[in-house]
Amino acid sequence: MSSDYYGTSAAYARKEQGYREKALKLYPWVCGRCSREFVYSNLRELTVHHVDHDHTNNPEDGSNWELLCLFCHDHEHEKYTEHDNQMGSVIKAGDNDHVAATFNPFADLKAMMEKGKK
Ligand SMILES: [Zn+2]
Ligand SMILES: [Zn+2]
């Protein structure tokens, strides 16, 4: 599993258990974005989002937790990924960002410097 923030990997699931249980006790089982309500039978679709995106920041009062459904949680993280990678420009759903990830801003610079040497 490459995507870890739902607690899909074994190690993460173990780590998640503590705060997920606490968050579910602390907050009503409702998605903080779309207000979808959850019951035991579909509770696994309700996830714990970390407001500051730091999974290791788990204050007992729950101030860093937000309960979000899978869809809204996904959306919440996409927002930040777009912002970080593209500084505001929009990545269409389904696009991958390999171009952005492998773009080397120094490639041109290196070429210029090598030209200058000759
Ligand atoms: Zn939702
Ligand atoms: Zn999250």
Residue 24 has pLDDT above 60, yes or no: yes
Region of residue 65 (phi > 0: left; psi between -120 and 50: alpha; otherwise: beta):
beta
* Residues having C-beta closer than 5 Å to ion ligand 2: 49
Would you kindly state where each structural domain of the chain is located, as residue ranges? 10-117
Per-residue pLDDT, 98 = 46
- pTM of the entire structure? 0.57
Q: What does the block give as tokens for 86?
A: 């593209």
How far is the C-alpha of 29 from the C-alpha of 37, rounded, in Å?
6
**Cα(108) to centroid(ligand 2), Å:** 37
Per-residue pLDDT, 1 = 42
**Cα(68) to centroid(ligand 2), Å:** 8
**Cα(118) to centroid(ligand 2), Å:** 52
